[in-house]
Structure 1
C-alpha cells in the first residue's frame, strides 16, 4: 500500500489517502473508454470487414500478411487480423497494464504464438534482427483516433511507422479519413466561450475588452451533438469537406492549412464550427464508419452510440458577419495534434501557418465551458437577482464566497451598502479585477484574495458581515457535493458574521433517482465475449477498481448529453443547513427508492438543489421528468454524479412487484467532506 496526497475539493485541505500501489492503473482502465469501444458493434464490424478486405488484397498479391497494430488496447483488432487470415501480428501498446492484459487476452484466445505484444510507444519501436520487429509489416491497423481524429498523436505515429516499420507497399485499415465541418450561428454554443453582457436593473455589465477579443481555449470542445436541439443553432453553410488523410500513403505531421470556399446559406453571425469525421476502411469506400450526429441519419436508420468518439465544437476567434450568396473562406489550420479554424474573405485567404488559439484574458484558464454557460444563463441569474432583492438592504454588508461569480455585481445593483468577494487564486483575482474595472465598480466591490479562515475584521472595514452569499461554485468541484465548500467557508468565517447574518443559499439538499440509461450504461458494462473473443480479463481489472469503492463512489457525467428514464421518483436524502456551522458528527440517511416505472435499472443519479430563500430554489440536477415516458431533462451547466451498478447490469425491475426497489445508505462525513454511499437493488 502507498499513501497519496490529494487536495480535498470541499475542505481545501491536503489529505493523505492509503491506496493499493496499482490503484491508479486500475482506475485508468476502469474510467477509460475501453468498455465503450468494445461494445461499439458498428465500429467492430467495420474494422473486421476492413481488415478482412486488406488481408485478401495482400494474399492476392502472393504475399504473407504481416500486420502492425498500433494502440492495440485489448488486442481485439490483432485477433481479428489473425482470424481474417493474417500470418503474424506485431501489437503495440504503450500503457503497461493494458499491454499485460493484451498479452494475456491473445494467449487465452489461442493467438499467443502469432501475436507479439510490444509495450512501447510506437515511435520507440525498432526494426532489425535484434529489434522489436524482425519483419516489416505490410498491413497497418490503427485505432489512434479521438473525437478530433488527430488529438492522440495519430499523425506522428503514422509518419514514424510508415517510414521505419512498413514495407514499401502497405495496406491500411482504416484506409482514409475525411474531416467535415459546418459553420453555424448559435447563442447557446457561443455562450460556452464568451462572457456575454449581463443586464442588471440599472446598468449592463460588460466583459473586459481583452476577454471579448480573446480567441479562447486551445482545446476542442467534444460533445454529443445529437443531443442538441435544432433550435440551438442555425446553419450558415452546407456540410463541407475540409480535408482528407490517406493512410495508405506517407503521412506527414507537418503543420498545414486547408482553405474551403463556400457560399453562405443565409445572412448571419458566424460563431461556431461543428465538425466530425468518417473513416473508410477500404479503398473503394464501401465500408465506412461515420461519426456524424444523429440528426443527419435517415429517420428509421439506427444511430450508433459512442462516447469514445463524439463530435467537435470549435469556436471562431471572433464573431463574423456573413451574407447569403457571398463567397466566404473557411480555413482549417492543422498541426500534429489539433485543428482550429478561421473565417475570411477569399481575397484575404492565406494558407500560411498561424499559431493555435490560446487564452490571453485569463477567463478560459479559470472557467471551463460549462461555467461560461452557467454565467450566461439569464433565467438562472434572474433567480439569484430576485433572491438577493429579498435579503439585501442599503445597510447590508455583503460577502460573496464563490469562484469567479457575478453575484457581487448583482448584490451591488440591488443596493447593498458594501460588497466584498473572496477569490481563491491570483488568476481569478486578476480576472475579477478586470471585470470590475471595466464596469467602474472597483471602488464599490472589494476583492479579497484570501482563504476564508484567514479573513480578519480589518479586511472587512471592521464591520460584521450581515449577508453571506454564494452560488455556490468552486473551480475545484467535480461532484455535486463538492460545492459544500461554501458551508465550510461559512463555518470558517463565523467570527466575521453578525449574529443575525442572512445566508444565501439557506440550505442545500442531496437528491437521488434510480434511472435507466439509453446508452451510457455501456461504458461500465462487462466486456465478456466481444465479437467471438474472450475479453473477460478486462472485466476483472475493471471490477477490481470499482469494488475498491463499491460502497463509496460515484462519477461525474453531464447527463444532458446522455438520455435516461426515471424509474423512481426523485428523493431528497440529506439537507445541509448553511445557517449553522458544519456539524462534527456524521450525517446519515437510509431508505428505499420504490420503482414507479418498468425498465432496466443501470444505476442512481445524485445531484444538489439549493434553497436560495424560502420561496426560491435552483437545481443543479433534475429539471423535469415526463409523466408519460419518464424521460429526464437535466441541468445543462454542470455534471451530475452517477453511481453505476457493477454486478447487476441486466437486472430487470418490475414496478408491479411491491418489493421492487433500490435501498440506499448514505453518510456525509464532515471531517472528510465526502459522501459515502451504497445502493442495492431489491427484487
Structure 2
C-alpha cells in the first residue's frame, strides 16, 4: 500500500521555483508525522495480489483509517508532470504570448490549477482589486474531487482564489448562462496521455468548440502532431510473439500449440514505453514520418484514416511502429514540446521545427513513446523499397497496419483470428512466458513439489495460465482448482483448447465459482489442499516502485 499525501503547498508562484518548492513541500510534509490529520487529503494506491490490478483509493479527511507512520511517496503522474520544468516553461511562455489582455479563459482538466494561475497572471488579475472593472476571468473545470480540494488550497496559498472560479464538473457538464456568464475567448488545457488521445482530447474539444468557446478562439496548445518510425527490435518482438519464443524453449509445455498461434496474444493497441531504454538495440528501418495533425483551435473530427508510402532505409523485419507527439503551443510556431525518443533529431523532420525543444535531454516519466506491435515475426522490408502504413484514429486511440503493397490489409496473413478461447495478456507476461530460464525454474519447483504426492489437490491462486497448464501436465493424477480472478471462464476455455497438446484431461480441472475469491472446504469436496501455487508477477504499474508491486500470499 502506497500513500501520497497532498497538503496545502506553500508555493512560490515564480515558475522557476514552483516545481522545486512543490516537490520539497510534498516530500517534507508527506514524510512528517507532525501535521494534523485534518489537513490531509490522502491518495492510496492499492494492489490486488491475485489479479495485479491497482487503483487509487481516496481516504477522506474524516476517515477513521489512519495513515501509516512513515508513508511512501508514490511517483504519481501529477508529481512527474509538475516537476517537468520544460513542460511548465513551454506552457508559461505560450500562455504569456497568447493572453495579452483581460478575457475569459477556460481551463479544462485543471488539476492543481497551474495553468489557471498562469492565465490569471498573464492577465495581471492578481494586481487588480475586486470591482476594478476588469473583464478578465478564469474558469477551471476539474472532475476529480480530491484534486479540486487540493487546487482550492493551492489557489488560496497563492492568493488567487478570487480570480479563478472552480467547477467540480466535467467540461461537458458546464453550461453557459447557468454556470458561466459567457463563452470563453481562450482555451488552456493539458489533457494528453502518451498516445495523445487516450484522455478524451477529441470529444472534449468537440464539446468545448460547440458549447463553451467563441468562434475562432485562442488556444494553448495550438496544435499536436503525431510522428512515427518503423523499427526492428528483438526485445519488442518478445513482448508479443509467444508462439516463436516458445519454439525456442526446450520443455514440453505448449502455451501456444501449433496451429493456434493467436490463442495467447496482446491486444491490438498501442503500449506506452520508455523507448530510450532500448536505443542501442533498435534498428531504424525508416525515417520519421508525420501521421496526424490535431488542431486545438478548431473542432476536430472524431475519426480519420490516412495511408502513407514510406521508403525503407535498411533491410530488416518491421517489429513495431514507434510513435510520439509534438506540441506546438503557440500559433506562430515558436514554442514546442516533444515526447520524441532521444535518437530523433527533431529539427530535421520539418523546417518549422527548427526552434530548439527545451528539455529534450531530461527524463520524462509521465509521457512516454508508444509502441504498436507488428504480429508474429514482423514484416520483411528491403532498403529503398516502399512500405505502406495505414493509420486510423478514433475519438480515443490510434491504430496502424503495415504492409508492402497498397492493397487493403489481408488479416489472414497475420493469422489474426477471433477465437472464442483467445486470451489477452500484457506484453510483460507474454515476454516472461517465453523466457526459457524463467520457465525452467518454475517447472523445476513444481516437479519438486508434486513428485511425492499421490492424487494431489492443487489450487492455482491467480490468473497464471502457465502454472495451470504446467501443474496439469506434470502431475497426471492431480485435481486442479483454478481461481482465475480475472480470466474466469475464459481461462477454462483456454485450458480446454490446449489440453490435448499438453497431455492432460480437462476433467481434472475446474474453476472455483466463489464470491470474493474466498475458497472454502465446500469448494474442494471437503478435501484439504496439497499444493497452493501462484505466480509472483511484476507488471509495469505506473505509480509504484518496482519492489512494491510484488505481492503474493
Determine if the alignment matches structure 1 residue 251 to structure 2 residue 295.
no
> Are 2:494 and 1:431 aligned?
yes
Structure 1 residue 84, shift from structure 2 partner: 1.9
Question: Normalising to structure 2: TM-score of the pair?
Answer: 0.70
- Map Cα deviations across residues 179-229 of structure 1 (whole Å, 9 max, x no partner): 112222334323333433535657572615555277742553222222235
Q: CA deviation at 1:73?
A: 1.1
Give the 3 Å change call, closer, same or farther, for CA 419–72 of structure 1 in structure 2: same
Deviations for 1:493-535, whole angstroms, at most 9, x for unmatched residues? Answer: xxxxxxxxxxxxxxxxxxxxxxxxxxx9xxxxxxxxxxxxxxx
Whole-angstrom CA distance in 2 between matches of 1:321 and 1:303: 32
1:51 Cα deviation from its structure 2 partner: 0.6
Greater percentage in helix: 2
Separation of aligned partners in 1, 2:64 and 2:390 = 41
> Which protein has greater RCO, CA pairs closer than 8 Å, 6+ apart?
2
Q: TM-score normalised to the size of structure 1?
A: 0.58
Match runs of 1:246-645 below 5 Å: 246-252=295-301, 254-296=302-344, 303-316=361-374, 320-324=378-382, 325-349=384-408, 364-365=423-424, 367-387=425-445, 401-402=459-460, 403-407=463-467, 417-424=476-483, 425-437=488-500, 439=501, 441-443=503-505, 446-450=508-512, 451=519, 453-454=521-522, 456=524, 468=531, 470=533, 472-473=535-536, 556-557=544-545, 559=546, 605=547, 639-640=549-550
Counterpart Cα distance in 1 of 2:307 and 2:50: 48
Give the whole-Å Cα distance in 1 for the aligned partners of 2:203 and 2:390.
Answer: 22
Residues 530-551 of structure 1, C-alpha deviations (whole Å, 9 max, x = no match): xxxxxxxxxxxxxxxxxxxxxx
Deviations 1:359-397 (A, max 9, x none): 7565544x3332222211122112334556667769975
Q: Distance in 1 between matches of 2:144 and 2:211?
A: 22
Instruction: Assess if the C-alpha contact under 8 Å between 1:328 and 1:343 holds in 2.
Output: yes
RMSD: 4.2
* Distance change in 2, residues 1:18/1:307 (3 Å): closer
Aligned counterparts of 2:499 and 2:364: Cα–Cα separation in 1: 43
Residue 227 (structure 1) aligns with:
277
Whole-Å separation in 2 of the counterparts to 1:194 and 1:361: 20
Structure 2 distance, partners of 1:389, 1:137, is 68
Q: Equivalent of 2:222, from 167, 170, 175?
A: 175
Residues 364 and 265 (structure 1), Cα distance of their counterparts in 2 relative to 1, 3 Å cut: farther
Name the CA shift for 1:20/1:292 in 2 (closer, same or farther; >3 Å): same
* Residue aligned with 2:218, SS: strand
Decide whether the 8 Å contact of 2:324 with 2:370 is kept in 1. yes
Residue 187 to residue 409, structure 1, CA distance change in 2 (3 Å): farther
Q: 1:572 corresponds to which residue?
A: none
- Quote the Cα distance in structure 2 between the aligned partners of 1:313 and 1:222: 6
Which of 275, 280, 285 matches 1:236? 285
Please say if 1:71 is aligned against 2:131: no
Structure 2: tracts of 5 or more residues without a match? 1-45, 68-72, 125-135, 347-357, 410-415, 513-518
CA 1:259–1:213 in 2, change beyond 3 Å: closer, same or farther? Answer: farther
Correspondence 1:92 to 2:151: no
Indicate the structure with greater strand content: 1
Does residue 1:189 correspond to 2:236, yes or no?
A: yes
Change (3 A) 1:161 1:154: same
Q: Counterparts of 1:43 and 1:267 in 2: how far apart (Å)? A: 37
Deviation at 1:458, TM superposition (A): 10
Provide the C-alpha distance between the structure 2 equivalents of 1:105 and 1:393, rounded to a whole number of angstroms. Answer: 62
Instruction: Find the residue that maps to 2:243 and give its secondary structure.
Output: coil
| Structure 2 Cα separation of the partners of residues 54 and 445 of structure 1 | 69
**One of 74, 81, 86 as aligned partner of 1:42:** 86
- Distance in 2 (alpha carbons) for counterparts of 1:147 and 1:359: 28
* Structure 2 CA distance for aligned equivalents of residues 30 and 412 of structure 1: 40
**1:124 Cα offset (Å):** 1.8
